[in-house]
Structure 1
Amino acid sequence: MITQLQIRVIESLSYDPWVNLAIEEYLLKQIAEDEVILYLWQNDNTVVIGRNQNAWKECRHLDLEQEGGKLARRLSGGGAVFHDLGNLNFTFIMNKKHYDLSKQLTVILQAVTKLGIKAEFSGRNDLVIEEKKFSGNAYYFNHDRALHHGTILINSDLTKLSRYLQVSPEKIISKGVDSVRSRVVNLVEVKRAITLSDVTQSMKESFFHNYRGSAQEIAVDRNDFNIEPLVRKYSSWEWRFGNTPKFDISICRRFAWGEMELGFCLKNGRIDSVQVFSDAIEERLIRDIGKGLKGCSFKKDRMIERLIKMDGQSENQALIIKDVALWLSETEI
């Protein structure tokens, strides 16, 4: 007997990033085996950083907070993004067996195509219009569950994006542009009459068309779910900033798959602790690299041995491990 796929569209009524990320994680934990959710949400005046990024380095958080904004950290890897009410966030949530990146991207691309805009998937995680990004995407997997989320720039204040995000010069150079502003585009710059409501409705219609399941639409806020513990987590200093000690040695390099910084605290010739910062999409592997190096003798050959023993579960993960091992072999430490 074939089980019919249950599909739901859930829209958040909150503009608070800590509430919205709490709802997202709650839905991920509660997702049924044969269910797919499209979660639509907006944050007001917010910078959201990737799971493994250094908050102090990626965002001018004091300026952001003084101007009434909030800093948030998400579950997935990738880089920092700016959200305001001219931006629509989406999350596909499902059991891993229903995860299909091509299908999920098709929902977004068909939604904007229906509105008269030609777009395509590019690079690691971007949706672009004539090589300018209007949507960044990231991914997170936890046991048998998966989520794919991202942004759609409709009429966002890109001057604030430039003011709050601290993008490394190496990243700008690698993109062949002179500023973060020159890399992105609002949909209204392509089609002036487009609205947030247009994009939201088109996303729903495209989702229903591609998944062909029994549909349910609901609007929610923080009182509809038992999410207060998760709201406390996402709003906490520990989650957003963490403990960044003074490192004995710190090294940094940009690769094709993203930037990585390794901060080592040493004791008696061994790595007492190591912190790995990165905007790489492979968020779990980045954390596993840190765990794998902890306690290792601070010798290049020993650290490289630890890395090589790690199991890269995909071609991209194997490439990251190989690149980091080669980097250590070439670095004077």
Structure 2
Amino acid sequence: MSFQQFLVKGTKLYSKTNHAILKAFRKVHVHYRNNSTKTNAKPILHKVIISKSKNIFENLALEEWLYRNADFQECSYLLMWRNHETIVIGRHQNVWKEANIPLLYAADVCLARRYSGGGAVYHDLGNVNFSFLTSRKHYNRKQNLNTVVDALHNRWALDLHVDTRDCIMWNNLYKSGIVGNPATPSVPASIINLKEIDDHLTFDNVVECVGQYFLLKGISSQQTTNIEYVEPAEATCYPGIHEIISQLEDWTWVYGKTPTFTLSRKFFIQLPTGSVSLEMKSQIKEGIIMNLHFTTSPFQPSLEQIVTRVRDRVESQRLCHQQLESCFKELQATFDESKIQEFHMNNQIITCVRKLFLE
């Protein structure tokens, strides 16, 4: 199967090597997030941490642990990391609108929700994530982006610049995304990989280059040029990080944090009396199916029994593929195959409900 076949209709594949799972996605190879907190005095030290983990939940947990616990009076941090194939959505986004869930699982692509806002992005091992953590007083988005730009330019003479949208650009092609805004619809963008410009631009080379450049900007006489490499889940210096990892992995966070939304679709089914229009609408709150409404045109009293049974079975269920498929199998097991017309009609209803929730 080609990567193009993973796309939902209406989107465009911008990278030659992506698993194109996002419905509206940006592939980022230099991805920036700023965590800012207390207003404090000027930072004394610059520290660089590179995560050796490729697990999205461990890396997001390390970023969050630093945000909650680091003393930005003393130090500004640059955390760099990468993950195996993953879609990462913003704190306030609707996961079902941002990602094609069935194809995501079929492709063995992970799904995670950040603590910060912003749009949905795709990560893989060719993606570098930069997290700048500093005091609110010293937070400067463009300066942070220019740290990356200047470091790469000094080392490889890359003609990069930061545009008016605070995106890192090369030859009018998109190279970076910024995470940290409120709920943001994901915007497709034409991108390019650094390695397409220069094959020396590997992950290890880039993080070493940017890390050393960031360290040289430290203002203290105690400033070192040592970069710290860590395994977040194994390090003893991050007490409580496993609790953060568990929350990030939990269904109620990844899916249940989605704002309330409505699903609706219109189908046409064949009954002995002819073609009938069937409209379905369902409200989803915290990932739970709150209700399911059916409307037929013309009105079909013969459908009331199966419609009621389906509604009673799926309401209060999670909008979860495994749970709903189990519900559908239980319902189908109650159908009387000897009553051919009724059996066929019941299966059509189940098929429509499955498409409403799972496709």
Conserved in 1, the CA contact under 8 Å of 2:118 and 2:181?
no
Residue 228 (structure 1) shift: 0.9
- Please list every run of 5 or more consecutive structure 1 residues that lacks an aligned counterpart in the other structure: 142-166, 173-179, 250-262, 266-333
Conserved in 1, the CA contact under 8 Å of 2:160 and 2:168?
yes
Residue 230 (structure 1) shift: 0.4
Using the alignment, how far apart are the partners of 2:61 and 2:43 within structure 1? Answer: 28
Using the alignment, how far apart are the partners of 1:121 and 1:137 within structure 2? Answer: 12
TM-score by length of 2: 0.55
CA deviations over 1:165-188 (Å, ceiling 9, x no partner): xx97xx55xxxxxxx5xx010011
SS at match of 1:53: coil
* Structure 2 counterpart of 1:223, from 229, 234, 240: 234
Letter in 2 for 1:193: H
Letter in 2 for 1:89: N
Alpha-carbon distance change, 245 to 77 in structure 1, aligned in 2, over 3 angstroms = closer
Alpha-carbon distance change, 4 to 236 in structure 1, aligned in 2, over 3 angstroms = closer
Conserved in 2, the CA contact under 8 Å of 1:46 and 1:71?
yes
TM-score by length of 1: 0.59
Residue 217 (structure 1) shift: 2.5
Conserved in 2, the CA contact under 8 Å of 1:14 and 1:20?
yes
Please list, as runs of the form range in 1=range in 2, the aligned pairs for 1:71-150 lying within 5 A after superposition.
71-114=111-154, 115-139=156-180
Percent sequence identity over aligned pairs: 29
Aligned to 1:13: 52
Aligned to 1:197: 204
Alpha-carbon distance change, 246 to 91 in structure 1, aligned in 2, over 3 angstroms = closer
Letter in 2 for 1:27: L
Residue 28 (structure 1) shift: 0.6
Please list, as runs of the form range in 1=range in 2, the aligned pairs for 1:23-42 lying within 5 A after superposition.
23-32=62-71, 33-42=73-82
Conserved in 2, the CA contact under 8 Å of 1:31 and 1:94?
no
Please list, as runs of the form range in 1=range in 2, the aligned pairs for 1:148-297 lying within 5 A after superposition.
171=187, 180=189, 183-213=190-220, 214-215=223-224, 216-221=226-231, 222-224=233-235, 225-226=238-239, 227-242=241-256, 245=260, 247=262
SS at match of 2:217: helix
CA deviations over 1:194-215 (Å, ceiling 9, x no partner): 2222211111122123334413
Alpha-carbon distance change, 18 to 196 in structure 1, aligned in 2, over 3 angstroms = same
Conserved in 2, the CA contact under 8 Å of 1:125 and 1:138?
no
Using the alignment, how far apart are the partners of 2:202 and 2:164 within structure 1? Answer: 27
Conserved in 1, the CA contact under 8 Å of 2:50 and 2:80?
yes
Conserved in 2, the CA contact under 8 Å of 1:51 and 1:78?
yes
Residue 189 (structure 1) shift: 1.5
Letter in 2 for 1:236: D
Conserved in 2, the CA contact under 8 Å of 1:37 and 1:93?
yes
Using the alignment, how far apart are the partners of 1:37 and 1:24 within structure 2? Answer: 10
- Please list every run of 5 or more consecutive structure 2 residues that lacks an aligned counterpart in the other structure: 1-40, 265-281, 285-359
Using the alignment, how far apart are the partners of 2:228 and 2:68 within structure 1? Answer: 18
Alpha-carbon distance change, 235 to 125 in structure 1, aligned in 2, over 3 angstroms = farther
Using the alignment, how far apart are the partners of 1:206 and 1:30 within structure 2? Answer: 25
Residue 52 (structure 1) shift: 1.6
Aligned to 1:318: none
CA deviations over 1:230-276 (Å, ceiling 9, x no partner): 00111111111115656499xxxxxxxxxxxxx999xxxxxxxxxxx
Conserved in 1, the CA contact under 8 Å of 2:46 and 2:217?
no
Using the alignment, how far apart are the partners of 2:167 and 2:42 within structure 1? Answer: 33
Alpha-carbon distance change, 238 to 116 in structure 1, aligned in 2, over 3 angstroms = same
Conserved in 1, the CA contact under 8 Å of 2:78 and 2:131?
yes
Residue 62 (structure 1) shift: 2.6
The ranges of structure 1 where at least 4 consecutive aligned residues each deviate by more than 6 angstroms after the TM superposition are none
CA deviations over 1:293-323 (Å, ceiling 9, x no partner): xxxxxxxxxxxxxxxxxxxxxxxxxxxxxxx
Aligned to 1:330: none
CA deviations over 1:35-60 (Å, ceiling 9, x no partner): 10110111100111112211111112
Using the alignment, how far apart are the partners of 1:244 and 1:110 within structure 2? Answer: 39
Aligned to 2:94: 54
Aligned to 2:269: none
